Amino acid sequence: MAERSFKKEVEHLRKGAGEDFTGEGILAITKALLENGVGYVGGYQGAPISHLMDVLADAEELMGELGVRFEANASEAAAAAMLAASVHYPIRGAVTFKGSVGVNVASDALANLASSGVNGGALIIVGEDYGEGSSIMQERSHAFAMKSQFWLLDPRPNLPSIVDAVGKGFELSEASNTPVMLMVRIRACHVTGSFEAKDNVAPALTVADALAAPQRDFKRVVLPPASYEHEHDKINNRWPAAEKFIVDNGLNEQFGPAEAKVGIICQGGMYNGVIRALQRLGLADIYGQTEVPIYCLNVTYPLVSDEFLAFAQGKDGLLVVEEGQPEFIEQGLSTLLTRGGAKARLHGKDMMVMAGEYTGQIMLDGITSLLKEHAPELLPGQVRAPNQDTPQIPDLSDTVPIRPPGFCTGCPERPIFAAMKLVEQELGQHQITNDIGCHLFACLPPFEIGGATMGYGLGPAANAAFDGGGEKRAISFLGDGGFWHNGLSSSIGNMVFNKSDSVAVVVDNYYSAATGGQDVLSSRAENATKSTNNPIAKAVAGVGVNWVRQIDHTYDVGKMRDTLRAALTTDVKGPKVIVASSECMLNRQRREKPQRNKAIKDGARVEIPRFGVDEDICTGDHACIRLSGCPSLSVKHLDDPLRDDPVAAIDQTCVGCGNCGEVADAAVLCPSFYRADVVHNPTGLEKWWQNLSRRLITWLQDRRSARQITFEKAGQ
């Protein structure tokens, strides 16, 4: 069950020539693939292109009509390996995944693909997850393009440019026999706009056609001596062909006057920010007409020497707007300037920040610095003076607290780590590693469990060095998504092969939840096009793990605690695996809430559990919060003057999972938690009993109030 359905939106993918197509960037990319005769598409979900995979999955029927093969791959490596179909056959293929971690996972297949080259257009659509909206380490995909000599496109973030980049990307790949990487940033994926559609085109050669007429060429197999020839082919043939195509088709764009004292070179993805900064300086309008020349690199690799040197001609100063580090583009342009004997002074990270996202203010400050040094006459009067700087933005770090990510309300993973804290309270702290996914939040307060993660599905492998026969067993966590991605072979298989005596907990929430709720092999839902309901416990036992425990209700904190304790203390040697299963609460609520709301609207009787805290019983020590951390569990102050400490309270966002009560019971904290079932559309008998109960309670309350001693202020 994906995070959202695009069933309605994908119908727009059927639009033909002359019609206006309106939608998000991810929809535009899908439409562009179909318009350009793609033969097969694959990929692996991950921000910011998770929704692109969801769109492709929802458009599978349409792609089938066109003869396009679609596969939701098991990993980025599996996706990249699909592009082998374009090595021997003139079939256009595209795969998509998150960069740069996705590129890292796919690196073996991508390196081989870049070496052998392709006959059909091969497009790798990389979701560049850099900056303040990122969920990963701060790296760029640019380095891999340079290392393996992929051509890297970074189009301006508007729908016509993105759609054009897809088509030109295929053509560039075919013209130079080289795979092309199309980088789409977070904003490009979700930008909304429109473009004039074209008719969808069935692939000239389908994968079925290719199967009927197999082809092979041993010169494209990456083995000596062919692999040595591949390198020379890249430099002597593919690179010049790519440069010629880039120039002939005007893939890089130039804006503004032909002659000026200064110029700006920017990545395509940075163009909107550059124009906005120039607008704020009064040097550009809302239509992009600029008084400062801009050389927009929609192709950031390779750099075209002649084109760049022509732009630099006659200019005193140039500014490279390149987000992230190292400054690959700046270094490359600097080399071209030196070799070309150009006199323009090149600026970049000396006027912009070295690392971090290029915000509007950073863009404005950098361009202002360029103009102050080389063309102060272009600046507005108030910023013309070289010693007059913009006001400093106040530091709010002491006022506004950081907001780290955390488990959702009702998350079934929270009780797993509450149980782990209880076990450590009893047995002492253990060496713990985490994994990529929601369970990584356990390293943050209030749990503070685990302190390292090395990659998707590599939680147990990250603990391999600690399996040295110490007094305490190491324990690691990985999710069901990571388990099927890489964990079964690289982590569990590694444990079995090396006779590890450590413990691995597979957190099974039925989906690849952290990437948007896509189905995996062990998902419990029926999927018409995928094989689900393949138990993780069977897979683990199948590779040789003998000590396996399956828990089908993680909210049972007591059972979780006892199972973890048993794994850490048993005399049984060898790897021990606990599969802790409960459905992701977000996905469960997405499915059940509409059904429940419809039932209530239709007049059906519906019970909704809610939990609360009895204020008279709660002691206010907040141990329940420290062991649960649920966002719906908070504190509130009482009106009672004899009780200064705030008590625990549960707000209206509670989803009724019961974890807080389970934690309180397992930890023997207090009996202040209670459950109340809210009944919608009650029966006549229930209404009669409710009225009777209310009258009785009111009578008892009035009776007690009448006996209370009251104190009045003097003079009243």
Residue in 675, 669, 673, 672 with CA at minimum distance from that of residue 627: 669
Cα–Cα distance measured from residue 456 to residue 66, given in angstroms and rounded to the nearest whole number: 34
- pLDDT confidence tier of residue 4, bands split at 50, 70 and 90: low
Strand boundaries in 251-333, DSSP class E:
253-255, 262-267, 294-297, 299-301, 317-321
Cα–Cα distance measured from residue 667 to residue 54, given in angstroms and rounded to the nearest whole number: 41
Contact criterion met (CB below 8 Å) for 681 and 605: yes
Q: Residue 178: CB partners within 8 Å, gap ≥ 6?
A: 114, 117, 118, 149, 150, 151, 172, 234, 238, 242
Contact criterion met (CB below 8 Å) for 79 and 124: no
Residue in 192, 177, 165, 170 with CA at minimum distance from that of residue 300: 165
Q: What is the pLDDT of residue 489?
A: 93
Helix (H) or strand (E) holding 164: helix 159-176
SS (H, E, C) 613-679: ECCCCCCCCCHHHHHHCCCCEEEECCCCCCCCCCEEEECCCCCCCCHHHHHHHHCCCCCCEEEEEEE
- Residue 398 predicted with pLDDT over 80: no
Q: What is the pLDDT of residue 329?
A: 96
CATH of domain 605-703: 3.30.70
Which tokens sit at 523?
A: 């998902």
Helix (H) or strand (E) holding 227: helix 226-233
Strand boundaries in 369-502, DSSP class E:
432-433, 475-479
Q: What is the pLDDT of residue 630?
A: 85
- Residue 91 predicted with pLDDT over 80: yes
Q: What is the pLDDT of residue 68?
A: 95
Which tokens sit at 344?
A: 């323009």
Cα–Cα distance measured from residue 243 to residue 263, given in angstroms and rounded to the nearest whole number: 22
If you search the block for the tokens 């392709």, which residue do you land on? Answer: 118
Q: What is the pLDDT of residue 661?
A: 74
Tell me the pLDDT tens digit for each residue of 169-183: 999 999 999 999 999
Q: Where in the chain do CATH 3.40.50.970 domains reside?
A: 13-248, 414-587
- Highest mean pLDDT among 186-190, 280-284, 516-520 belongs to 280-284
H-type alpha helices, 401-512: 414-427, 480-482, 494-497
10 Å Cβ neighbour count for 665? 15
Between 75-84, 130-139, 270-279, 460-469, the lowest mean confidence (pLDDT) is in 130-139
Contact criterion met (CB below 8 Å) for 116 and 216: no
DSSP 409: T
Cα–Cα distance measured from residue 186 to residue 24, given in angstroms and rounded to the nearest whole number: 12
- Residue 384 predicted with pLDDT over 60: no
- Residue 715 predicted with pLDDT over 70: no
Contact criterion met (CB below 8 Å) for 529 and 491: no
- Residue 470 predicted with pLDDT over 90: no
What's the sign of the alpha-carbon dihedral 454, 532, 4, 33? positive
Q: Residue 642: CB partners within 8 Å, gap ≥ 6?
A: none
Average pLDDT of the residues in 493-521: 91
Residue in 444, 515, 442 with CA at minimum distance from that of residue 484: 515
Tell me the pLDDT tens digit for each residue of 511-533: 888 788 888 999 998 888 889 99
Q: Where in the chain do CATH 3.30.70 domains reside?
A: 605-703
- Residue 676 predicted with pLDDT over 80: yes
User: For the whole model, what pTM was predicted?
Assistant: 0.87
Residue in 201, 254, 214, 181 with CA at minimum distance from that of residue 33: 201
User: What are the φ and ψ backbone dihedral angles of 387, each rounded to 5 degrees?
Assistant: -100, 10
Tell me the pLDDT tens digit for each residue of 345-370: 999 999 999 988 899 999 999 999 99
DSSP 13: G
Tell me the pLDDT tens digit for each residue of 450-466: 888 888 899 999 999 98
Which tokens sit at 123?
A: 């497009």
Burial (CB count <10 Å: 0-12, 13-18, 19+), residue 224: exposed
- What crossing angle do the helices spanning 50-58 and 25-35 adopt, rounded to 10°? 50
- Residue 387 predicted with pLDDT over 50: no
Long-range pairs, 425-429, Cβ under 8 A, ≥24:
426/565, 427/472, 427/565, 427/568, 427/569, 428/472
Cα–Cα distance measured from residue 269 to residue 483, given in angstroms and rounded to the nearest whole number: 34
Higher confidence at residue 633 or residue 312?
Answer: 312
Burial (CB count <10 Å: 0-12, 13-18, 19+), residue 687: exposed
Which tokens sit at 75?
A: 């990993």
Q: Which residues pair with 479 in a beta bridge?
A: 507
What's the sign of the alpha-carbon dihedral 337, 341, 344, 345? positive
- pLDDT confidence tier of residue 40, bands split at 50, 70 and 90: very high
Cis preceding-peptide flag for 179 (omega within 30 of 0) = no
- Residue 185 predicted with pLDDT over 80: yes
Residue in 525, 467, 530 with CA at minimum distance from that of residue 494: 467
CA triple 25-28-33, angle to 5 deg: 130
10 Å Cβ neighbour count for 75? 18
Q: What is the pLDDT of residue 1?
A: 53
Q: What is the pLDDT of residue 203?
A: 95
Mean of all residue pLDDT scores within the chain:
90
Q: Give the domain 414-587 fold.
A: Rossmann fold (3.40.50)
Contact criterion met (CB below 8 Å) for 375 and 283: no
Q: What is the pLDDT of residue 674?
A: 84
User: What are the φ and ψ backbone dihedral angles of 438, each rounded to 5 degrees?
Assistant: -60, -35
% helix, strand, coil for the chain, step of 5: 40, 15, 40
| Percent above pLDDT 90 for the chain | 63
Tell me the pLDDT tens digit for each residue of 126-137: 998 887 777 777
Q: Decide: helix, strand or coil at residue 226.
A: helix
What's the sign of the alpha-carbon dihedral 109, 115, 118, 122? positive
Q: What is the pLDDT of residue 383?
A: 57
Q: Decide: helix, strand or coil at residue 229.
A: helix
Burial (CB count <10 Å: 0-12, 13-18, 19+), residue 66: middle
Q: What is the pLDDT of residue 248?
A: 97
Give the architecture-level CATH label for domain 13-248: 3-Layer(aba) Sandwich (3.40)
Q: What is the pLDDT of residue 386?
A: 47
Tell me the pLDDT tens digit for each residue of 563-609: 999 999 999 999 999 999 999 998 888 888 999 999 999 999 999 88
- pLDDT confidence tier of residue 498, bands split at 50, 70 and 90: very high
Q: Decide: helix, strand or coil at residue 23.
A: strand
Q: Residue 32: CB partners within 8 Å, gap ≥ 6?
A: 162, 163, 166, 167
